[in-house]
Chains A and B, each alone.
Chain A
Amino acid sequence: MPTRRQFLAQSAAALTLGPGLAHAMGADTEVGIGLLAHGPGADARPLAVEQLMWEVSKRTSIDVRERPGRVDPATEALWDWPLVVWIGTEGVPPLSEAARGNLRRFLKAGGTLFIDDASPPGSDDFDASVRAEVAALWPDGPLDDLDDEHTLFRTFYLLDKGYGRIRRRSALQGVLFDDRSPILYSRNDLFGAFGRDTLGRWLLPVVPGGSQQREMAFRTGLNLVMYATCLNYKRDQVHTTAILRRRRWKADR
């Protein structure tokens, strides 16, 4: 994890070198995160999304929208944010049927929902709400642990597990649909590791601690954004050379 000073210096360099950064195509085509407005969690991690997306924009080629949207799952606004994050700190009531139906269609149409359990250590209320909600939302399959080979762990950084501000449960969970995981679930307060105040200080400490843990949390978050946009690209890329050379593909020119 670089120091803040190093980071600012590298960022300045990137601004001068990066191709095409000056001409965005508009907000609709930028990659951003919508925060699901259901329960108090949407406000629990201020500036976390901005910080993550800032890191994404500096470390990758993705054209980001830093500020998150706040989306009501029952409205059409949900569809402006193909990647939605649901942060929870306590038990929440079930979604309305309208919200649930809209969210289900959203996920099946290509959207991704990342659920982040930011509740205090020892509290399982939000977890219980999530499991009940996912069971209702996605009756086709339960939340299962992602295996080590899941593309999420190699979309950009090579990771061995999911990281976060705390270490409550190392395994990430998800549901499977159409060769992808439209719902992903972390109990490690991932977005809690991202927030900074205006002076650049981290808003929350990482537990058990250390800059490496925070860096690994950023890498998990960045992989999440990359997974939402690239899906299983990394799964077939390792085979690129073999695909090109298989069956004597050749050019006749």
Chain B
Amino acid sequence: MLQDLFDAGGEFNAARFVWLHTWSGWVVLAVALMAAAVLALAWINTRPVAGRRRGALLALRGAAVALLAVLFLQPGVRLEHVTRVRNHVVMLLDASRSMALPGEDGSRTADVQAMLADQAGVIEGWRQDHQVDLFAFDDHARPLAEAAALPANGDATRIVAALEDVAARFQPEDLAAVVVVSDGADTGVLGEAVPGTQEAPAGVTAVAGRLKAPIHTLFTGPKAPPRDVAITHVAHDDFAFVRNAVSIEATVTVTGYDGLTLPVTLRRGDTVLGTKQLTVRDGERRYPFEFEFVPDKTGKAVFTLEVGTAPNEQITVNNRRQFVIRIIRDKIRVLQVVGRPSWDQRFLRKLLKRNPNVDLISFFILRTGASVQVARQNELSLIPFPTRELFEEQLGSFDLIIFQNFTYRGYRMRQYLPLIRDYVREGGGFVMIGGDQSYTPGGYADTAIAEFLPVRMPQGPEEPIIDGRFAGRLTEAGQRHPITSLSLVPEDNADIWAALPDLSGMNRVLGATPDAQVLVTHPRQRADGQLAPVVATREFGQGRVLAITTDSTYRWAFQMAAKGGDARHYYKFWGNAIRWLIKDPALNPVRVEADRDRYPLGAEVTLVTRVVGDDYAPAADVSVSLTLERRWTDAGGAQQVSRLPPIEVTTEATGEALVRLTPEGEGAYVVTARAALPAGEVTDDEVFVVAPDPVELRRTAARADTLELLAKAGKGEARTLKDGLADLPRVEPKVVKVNRRRDVPLWASGWLLLLAILLPSAEWFLRRRWGLL
């Protein structure tokens, strides 16, 4: 304005008031004292004068003194032409996923882009004094070339983190203003503010204080919250124990619906673990759910929690949550059922009891229905054989079942045998140990047990037992198999087997089943043209089975000690057997692992494949084929499956092969590694999830209150998009150079001199007229 008044030619770009006198401070002080004295004298000598007249005289005296003071101090206007360094107006534009949700007109992002286009003139005006910098932000701020390129795919909204990025990028004195344009659905510190609070969280005030420039906010969002049913909270452990109950807690938040009923479903892969009903009640928005299930096998698994889509629901992406839980084993749960006490049972039980990783349930038949009873029941320590509890109710809770010289006959157990077969088929481990009540003498030849045993049993009249001692003979398969690997060095392993004490007695069998692996045979006895199997394995469905046709493996412990040795080979054999039967992952020669369980969209996945040889040493130059299967739900809610082309890799000297890839989209991925090893094709699976951060979409409602808190902490203005950008306060840029200057004196005016004469004259005239002179 000053510039307009005094710089008609437009030669200058700055104007301000100045005092043009050159008096020293002492002189100015002396003059000021004189002026005060003059006014004091006037005050004193006008006391006798009546009210109005005194006021007029004092006013004239005061005006005259003030005028003289102005003339003494010489006020003026200084016109300058200066050079300034433009400071920065930083515009932080929200690029998180919630910005893709409905705003007032279009999406929240579209509304922001429309506003920026509409306010282009204002922004252009800012550019005269400021540099306008656009940034997109989600969990951090990053430069944005143009507003039209603003994405809406960030997995977080962390406004404070974005402001900290600004503080790190600019010196505080270089900032003119920060303008935050967002829906306010902050997932960080700011979002923790409770609606209605007047106090911004400490982290907000701290960053606002560092910026030293006003922080303005522009809110974008719908007037009413979108209609939405969202899984807003899921609590689960990353690890769970197999065959232990696992709880998953979830909260479903409902916005804009009443009287609605929807299913809430928990799935593991394609298997539904549980479904509950969500019934929306008036005035209630949050609905907690708890699912409980019992994982029945170890390994990583992808779980999906899903709530149905409501009619006309605007946001469906948050109706589903996928997560990975690693199911591990706390202890190996073994059921040992023994038909009669024996030395073999005694040593195996001792072995199992000593193993800290085994939780053992033993049940021994101490007396049969044929036993003579000479004591009352209360004089005996016997308890009933809980067949229903063990083989129906609790069957699935065991990792391994051992039938040791046990016959099911006499205990009304035949109806449970198919359940045991199903248990094995679904992943259980089973061992049958020989004896006079096992295999054919046990009556298993035509039962469901025979369907999965690795040996075929005779039903004919021939003697079912082969008597006499013999040395178990390791087969070619047995030389490599993890059960019979008693030493990592193959040559040592053969020597160990040759030195083991003789076994004694075995069950006659017809031979091994076609898909069985015979590991140890009788050295002479033949079955089906082959040496009779003593130790044989078989995979049946998901489960594994071990058949031992003798009840004398205890001799590998006890008789070994007789020769001055110890029981370590016996312990090693059974330890190997248990690990193989329960599918201990460490025994798998091919392993594939992802470096994380969950990845954000666009992140790189690292897959490490490890291969070991028969001796469990790293195997180099092994070709491994990796296939990826992706399962996801499309926009229409339909389940989709796609398979990526196989990735071929070769292991390095470390036995490892590394693959890095970027998955094409969200969903649950199953990686299968396949390698052709001497023992046959070996596979291993790994799972991971690619999904947006669930935090971003758990709160879909736009929040103007968070932006208001921010603007208040930043001493700026809180506006909506409709208010636009015009007149937002900004810090002026600094002047770095004055090119030319001109002072325009305001005191050097004839009118002021005339006034300096007229004012005392008027006082003199009035005093004279009122008889004061």
Contact = CB atoms under 8 A, between A and B. Distances in A.
A252 B243 contact: yes
B441 A252 contact: no
Interface in B557-571: 557-559, 561-564, 566-567
Q: Which of B350, B365, B469, B566 has the most CB of A within 10 A?
A: B350
A23 B346 contact: no
Contacts of B423: 253
Contacts of A79: 558-559, 561-562
Contact of A62 (B341, B380, B435, B558): B341
B502 to A, nearest CB: 9
B350 A250 contact: no
B347 A110 contact: yes
Interface stretch (A131-139, A166-174, A225-233): A225-233
Contact of A25 (B243, B364, B434): B434
Contact of A250 (B294, B345, B353, B363): B294
A240 B361 contact: yes
Given A20-B442, A24-B465, A244 B389 contact: yes
Interface string A130-174: 000000000000000000000000111110000000000000000
B367 interface: yes
B371 interface: yes
A87 to B, nearest CB: 22
Nearest to A1: B374
Nearest to A77: B562
B296 A253 contact: yes
A56 to B, nearest CB: 10
Interface residues of B, number: 84
B381 A244 contact: no
B396 A2 contact: no
Contact of A28 (B243, B364, B505): B505
B437 interface: yes
Interface string B314-350: 0000000000000000000100000111111111011
Contacts of A156: 366-367, 380-382
A253 B378 CA distance: 37
Contacts of B437: 19-20
Interface in A101-127: 105-106, 108-111
B684 interface: no
A247 to B, nearest CB: 6
A4 to B, nearest CB: 12
A59 B371 CA distance: 5
Contacts of A106: 561-562
B362 A236 contact: yes
Contact of B551 (A29, A155, A219): A29
B341 A25 contact: no
A14 interface: yes
A252 B561 CA distance: 43
B374 A59 contact: yes
Contacts of A14: 370-372
Nearest to A179: B353
A129 interface: no
A244 B557 contact: no
A13 B364 contact: no
A72 interface: no
A100 interface: no
Given A60-B366, A109-B557, A253 B395 contact: yes
Contact of A29 (B349, B369, B552, B561): B552
A243 B374 contact: no
Interface in A1-26: 1-2, 7, 10-11, 13-21, 23-26
A249 B397 contact: yes
B435 A25 contact: yes
B473 interface: no
A233 B362 CA distance: 7
A201 to B, nearest CB: 19
Contacts of B295: 252
A58 interface: yes
Contact of B343 (A1, A29, A105, A240): A29
Contacts of A7: 372
A197 interface: no
Interface string A208-234: 000000010001000000101111111
Contacts of A27: 504
Nearest to A219: B375
A28 B556 CA distance: 13
A229 B341 contact: yes
Given A28-B469, A60-B371, A109-B561, A23 B293 contact: no
B350 A231 contact: yes
Contact of A61 (B361, B362, B368, B550): B368
Contacts of B465: 23-26
Contacts of A10: 372
B555 interface: yes
A249 B335 CA distance: 13
A252 B296 contact: yes
A73 B610 CA distance: 53
Contacts of B557: 109-110
Given A29-B342, A59-B373, 14 more contacts: A17-B370, A23-B436, A25-B436, A26-B468, A28-B555, A29-B552, A59-B367, A105-B562, A156-B382, A157-B379, A232-B353, A237-B362, A249-B243, A251-B397
Query: Closest 10 A-B residue pairs measured CB to CB?
Result: A251-B396, A109-B561, A28-B504, A17-B370, A18-B370, A25-B505, A79-B562, A26-B505, A229-B341, A252-B294
29 contacts: A14-B370, A17-B368, A19-B410, A23-B464, A25-B504, A25-B506, A26-B467, A27-B504, A59-B371, A59-B373, A61-B339, A61-B366, A76-B562, A76-B563, A105-B564, A109-B557, A109-B561, A110-B558, A154-B381, A229-B341, A231-B349, A236-B360, A236-B362, A243-B361, A250-B397, A251-B294, A251-B396, A251-B397, A253-B422
Interface of B: 243-245, 293-296, 333, 339-347, 349-350, 353, 359-375, 378-383, 386, 389, 393-397, 407, 409-410, 422-423, 426, 434-437, 441-442, 463-465, 467-469, 504-506, 550-552, 555, 557-559, 561-564, 566-567
